[in-house]
Amino acid sequence: MTDLHKLYDPRSAQEKWLPFWDENGYFDADVVRDKPSHTIMIPLPNVTGALHMGHALNGTLQDLITRYRRMQGHVALWMPGTDHAGIATQAVVERRMLEEEGLTRHDVGREALVNRIWKWKDAYESRILNQLKQLGASCDWRRTRFTLDEICSNAVRRTFFKLFGDGLIYRGKRLVNWDTFLQTAVADDEVFHENINGHFWTFTYPVVDSDERIAFSTTRPETMLGDTAVCVHPSDKRYAHLVGKNVRIPLVDREIPIIADGLLADKELGTGCVKVTPAHDPNDYACGLRNNLEMINILNANGTINENGGEFESLDRYKAREAVVAKMEELGHFVDVEDRQIPIMHSDRSKTPIEPYLSDQWFIRMDNLAQNAMDVVDDGRVSFFPARYAKTYMDWLGEKRDWCISRQLWWGHRIPIWSKTFNGRTTDIPSLEAKAMLAEDGETVVFTDELAEQLSGRYTTTDDGELLLLCVNNGCKELELQLEAAGFEQDEDVLDTWFSSALWPHSTLGWPDLEQNPPLNNEPDASSTSKNNVLDYFYPGSVLVTSRDIITLWVARMVLTGLYNMGDIPFSHVCVHPKILDGFGAGMSKSKGNGVDPLDLIDRYGTDAVRFTIASFAGETQDVRLPISYECPHCEELIDPSHYKLGKLEVVVPKTLKGEFPVPAGEPKPVLVCPNKKCRKESQFSTPLYDADPDVPVARMVSERFEYGRNFCNKLWNASRFAMMNLEGYTSGPVEENDLQLEDRWILSRLSTTATELQVLLDKYQFDAATRVIRDFTWNEFCDWYLEMVKPRLRDDNQRTTAQRVLVTVLESLLKMLHPFAPFITEELWQRLNEMAPERGLPQPIAATESIMIAPWPELPHNWQSSALESRFVRLQETIVAVRNIRAVYNIPLSTPLKLHIRCNDLVAAEMRDVAPQFDNLAKTELGDVGATVQRPSGSAGFALGDADGYIPLEGIIDREAELERQQKERDKLTGFITGHEKKLSNRNFVSKAPDQVVAEVRETLAGLKNQLESVEQIIRDLS
């Protein structure tokens, strides 16, 4: 009848349906004018490494929404792609190059390094895309983009050009976080603070023309070389007489002023006097700007002291620190030193200390751009789910801090600025715009009119007038060649990686090319339309799904550039989902190396199980802890990572992973020994930090939490299997109203109610609640009650037809509702159902689609829902449970038949008789006397339900004492509740102040409880 195996086999379903969907183009999203579009842009993963469970959560939710909307009739585009991730990727490749070959980027040069990074990118991009595909992601893969590809680069350069032309890009010397190892500026969000043991020195500077000395403290003595003032608080009487005088820096013999600045100096701290090094400290920098102080840079890019450091030149800054201290001591200006914990900024990428450093950078003016991005949230055009995250967004944008967009890296979008040393001939500049000419060493370089036009208004000079800077528009090779010929050079720096990802929602759709659609990867030349209708149709997008840590870095900037380039928001909803933490509560990240590869889990539990479990995590508040174990590849024993030793290296897998996990370099990789005494075999283990050796058994990372999803899938599988085993002779057609039994009406009511609830929850992005609703319906209602109740009718020729039609209807709708959560198993079951019941559904059967992916979302009649019917059913359930309870308490096996008498009113009695066969079916109990006059037979166990009392004669089986005790316990419980209610009702304030409805409810409940109590007491009297 059916060849379904008892266990669902996820692997075979995945292998079968992924290619099927792909070949049929179900993932493809093309413009269909009379259908609504639904667009999700993937939060582009970095190509630094493989995806972890955080990405799997993110991807699952996006695919869930995409499949849901697709079934609802949208053209649902999910745009895939990856991010070059500038500094992160370059750092990974550089680190590996250094470890494996001992080479730095300066050894190999720009071109070779960039080539190496491209190779890395190719490897990881395909690995990432494969991970997404294995997850069932229904992205339009033909549209896969990469932030450095031609389409994206085009958008980057056009945006830069536009910003430059609008005067929103400027260059200036700014204090940046300088990574002396990578020799690059690092963004504020790419640094972390760490306390290290340091010292707190106190020195003095001599006041000029005075015998006085002024004392100050510092943790970085070498910065004295760059001091250009000392500062006191304006109201500090101790120093008031010194303000305006000068001090001499003994080390370099420079005279600097004593100034008063209330923002910098704090009377309570240290000596109350602070030295000012504007070029090497953020606060001092701000102070320097306020007071027009000189800014002396004392560092080279590599962290050594430069020529401004006098005799300390070319010493590393830490060596210089010692030398400076020694010199000051020698000169008699040392006061004291104490040990102190000092928070030091470190680069997230190189893990080395940051130096504040004055350097040339490009900036975007944020005032208006940020304001516009704030306005669209204010007026509700963009909304956050949950709403509180709008605050994060607004607070950050509200600062309107200019965006430093240049990075001293080789991997990224090179800044489209060409510059030339101008030897002071700044007066020639206006003539450039007028004549499109540039005088160069007596020669005249002439730009064509067309090219000159492009440069019109797109130049600037540095503050000192030494450089002429030109911003070059997209792909203008000719102009670039002419510029080169004229001695111009392109800026060495690249753009902040967020610059290109900020454009993602429109760049991927082909902007700024409004003439033709962006090419598809599998048909690169097929872009022949006269208009880019893809951009039109899919922009603005629908919802952005992301985790909260990039609301500022990414979400805000997408809104900002979307408004600037497109004049419209990039998406109307932002769905912020929880973070996946490791078992110790730390966030998973590629750099920490504590990520769990979703493929490991998919391997063990199946994709659908992983997706379903993951969706059940996605609530509104809590982050999700994911404790993991390793699975011994030899015996499948689970190995707890927190206490097990790693073979020969004697390393315990760390409790907290802070990037200090041992990465083997040329050494044998750590080995895990199975704790199972019968096994004791060795294996390597899955880690994102390096690949295991080939041909060695690898212990997968697993997490028992995913058994939740696996068990559910298996339950669904078996319920469907049961249904299909009972479809023999199935015919399609409507059902007669009179043929519908209580359980049919009930399950259809529950189905319709569940579908409504599910839809409401999905529309609010409450995935955790959605999984609960659908799971509870499937397991607790469909399987536990409906299937059990319908079994006898499926064996009865006269009743089978209606039962089959209802059963198939419910199953079909259930599969459809579950498809966005669990695409593979639902497709597998759909296909099998298609073979047995190609036409199905109520109230009117229709032909099923060839794939569940393209099936319409269930729209079930609302009038199926009946709360009266559902409460009637609840009474039946309670009665059955009460009987089962008695069986369990007295240990009466199912093989012993029971008889049940019920005392109740006529209405309930009629209902009970109506479902009499179910007592036998579900509890192996025969329904005996039912009605208002039923008396409790002696020697029986009983139960009271409020509107019905049940008696089960157990003469000879029942233990009178035990039954008495049981009933007394029940009485005490009821008495407690009743006392509580009576107390409430006797409170005059409650009766007068609480809403009438609440009071009435309490009275009603109390009456019910009293009824129950009366019945119980009756039983007790009988027993005694």
Partner RNA sequence: GGACGAUUAGCUCAGUCUGGUUAGAGCGCCACGUUGACAUCGUGGAGGUCACUGGUUCGAGUCCAGUAUCGUCCACCA
Q: Which of 435, 696, 993, 1000 binds RNA (CB under 7 A)?
A: 993
Give the separation between CA 540 and CA 538, rounded to whole angstroms: 6
State in angstroms the smallest separation of the CB of 751 from RNA.
16
Where residue 988 falls (left for φ over 0; alpha for ψ -120 to 50; beta otherwise) is: alpha
State in angstroms the smallest separation of the CB of 1021 from RNA.
21
State in angstroms the smallest separation of the CB of 978 from RNA.
9
Give the separation between CA 781 and CA 920, rounded to whole angstroms: 19
Residue 853, classified by CB atoms within 10 Å of its CB into exposed (0-12), middle (13-18) or buried (19+), is: buried
State in angstroms the smallest separation of the CB of 366 from RNA.
14
Q: Which is nearer to RNA, 289 or 894 (CB)?
A: 894
- C-alpha to C-alpha distances, 534 to 73, 470, 508, 509, 529, nearest whole angstrom: 18, 33, 10, 6, 10
Q: Which of 69, 105, 577, 710 binds RNA (CB under 7 A)?
A: 710
Pick out residues in 235-274 that bind RNA (CB under 7 A). 265-266, 268-270, 272-274
Pick out residues in 881-940 that bind RNA (CB under 7 A). 881, 884-885, 887-889, 891, 893-894
CA neighbor of 870 nearest in space, from 784, 775, 997, 748: 748
Q: Which of 442, 729, 956, 995 binds RNA (CB under 7 A)?
A: 995
Choose the stretch contacting RNA; rule: CB under 7 A; options: 33-41, 88-96, 618-626, 647-655.
618-626
For 189-330, strand residue ranges (E) read: 191-206, 213-218, 229-232, 246-249, 254-260, 273-276
Give the separation between CA 879 and CA 868, rounded to whole angstroms: 17
Where residue 796 falls (left for φ over 0; alpha for ψ -120 to 50; beta otherwise) is: beta
Q: Which is nearer to RNA, 387 or 854 (CB)?
A: 387
Q: Which is nearer to RNA, 376 or 807 (CB)?
A: 807
Pick out residues in 689-708 that bind RNA (CB under 7 A). 704-705, 707-708
Q: In 3-state terms, what secondary structure has residue 162? A: helix
Roughly what angle, to the nearest 10 degrees, separates helices 916-923 and 867-889?
A: 40
CA distance between the termini of the chain:
57
Q: Provide the mask over 372-401, with x wherever binding to RNA is found by CB under 7 A and - wherever it is not.
A: ----------------x--xx--xx-----
Bridge partners, 192 (sequence order): 346
Q: Is 567 in the site for RNA (CB under 7 A)?
A: no
Helix (H) or strand (E) run with residue 889 in it: helix 867-889
926's CB contacts (< 8 A; 6+ apart) are 897, 898, 899, 900, 919, 920
Sign for the CA dihedral angle at 567, 568, 570, 575 comes to positive
Residue 960 backbone phi and psi in degrees, to 5: -55, -45
State in angstroms the smallest separation of the CB of 730 from RNA.
16
Q: Are 225 and 305 in contact (CB under 8 A)?
A: yes
Give the separation between CA 26 and CA 9, rounded to whole angstroms: 23
State in angstroms the smallest separation of the CB of 446 from RNA.
48
Q: Which is nearer to RNA, 342 or 445 (CB)?
A: 342
Choose the stretch contacting RNA; rule: CB under 7 A; options: 254-262, 680-688, 716-724, 820-828.
716-724
Q: Which of 100, 847, 980, 1000 binds RNA (CB under 7 A)?
A: 980
Pick out residues in 318-337 that bind RNA (CB under 7 A). none
Give the separation between CA 667 and CA 659, rounded to whole angstroms: 18
Q: Which is nearer to RNA, 451 or 580 (CB)?
A: 580
Amino acid sitting at position 259: I
Pick out residues in 747-776 that bind RNA (CB under 7 A). 768-769, 772
71: which 2 tokens?
């079934």
State in angstroms the smallest separation of the CB of 877 from RNA.
9
Amino acid sitting at position 576: V
Amino acid sitting at position 314: S
State in angstroms the smallest separation of the CB of 327 from RNA.
18
State in angstroms the smallest separation of the CB of 625 from RNA.
4
Give the separation between CA 572 and CA 556, rounded to whole angstroms: 13
Q: Which of 61, 452, 503, 719 binds RNA (CB under 7 A)?
A: 719
Give the separation between CA 830 and CA 816, rounded to whole angstroms: 9
Sign for the CA dihedral angle at 286, 292, 293, 298 comes to positive
State in angstroms the smallest separation of the CB of 786 from RNA.
9
Q: Which is nearer to RNA, 652 or 1007 (CB)?
A: 1007
Q: Which is nearer to RNA, 173 or 625 (CB)?
A: 625
Amino acid sitting at position 992: S
Pick out residues in 782-811 that bind RNA (CB under 7 A). 783-784, 787-788, 791
Pick out residues in 114-143 that bind RNA (CB under 7 A). none
Q: Which of 245, 984, 1003, 1010 binds RNA (CB under 7 A)?
A: 984
Q: Are 335 and 202 in contact (CB under 8 A)?
A: yes
Q: Which is nearer to RNA, 234 or 282 (CB)?
A: 282
Q: Which is nearer to RNA, 411 or 890 (CB)?
A: 890
Q: Which is nearer to RNA, 462 or 975 (CB)?
A: 975
Q: Which is nearer to RNA, 161 or 605 (CB)?
A: 605
Pick out residues in 832-891 that bind RNA (CB under 7 A). 881, 884-885, 887-889, 891
Pick out residues in 624-653 that bind RNA (CB under 7 A). 624-625, 627
Bridge partners, 1007 (sequence order): none
Q: Which of 779, 849, 947, 982 binds RNA (CB under 7 A)?
A: 779
Give the separation between CA 874 and CA 888, rounded to whole angstroms: 21
CA neighbor of 472 nearest in space, from 412, 414, 511: 414
State in angstroms the smallest separation of the CB of 14 from RNA.
15
Give the separation between CA 721 and CA 8, rounded to whole angstroms: 10
Q: Which is nearer to RNA, 868 or 888 (CB)?
A: 888
Choose the stretch contacting RNA; rule: CB under 7 A; options: 132-140, 217-225, 561-569, 856-864.
217-225
Dihedral of the alpha carbons of 502, 506, 510, 514, in degrees to the nearest 10:
-130
State in angstroms the smallest separation of the CB of 129 from RNA.
27
Pick out residues in 568-597 that bind RNA (CB under 7 A). 579, 581, 585-587
767: which 2 tokens?
């995935």
Residue 273 backbone phi and psi in degrees, to 5: -120, 135
Q: Which of 426, 1005, 1011, 1018 binds RNA (CB under 7 A)?
A: 1005
Q: Which of 218, 482, 607, 629 binds RNA (CB under 7 A)?
A: 218
Q: Which of 660, 959, 1001, 1014 binds RNA (CB under 7 A)?
A: 1001
Give the separation between CA 543 and CA 64, rounded to whole angstroms: 12
Pick out residues in 170-209 that bind RNA (CB under 7 A). 188-189, 193
Q: How many residues bind RNA (CB under 7 A)?
A: 96
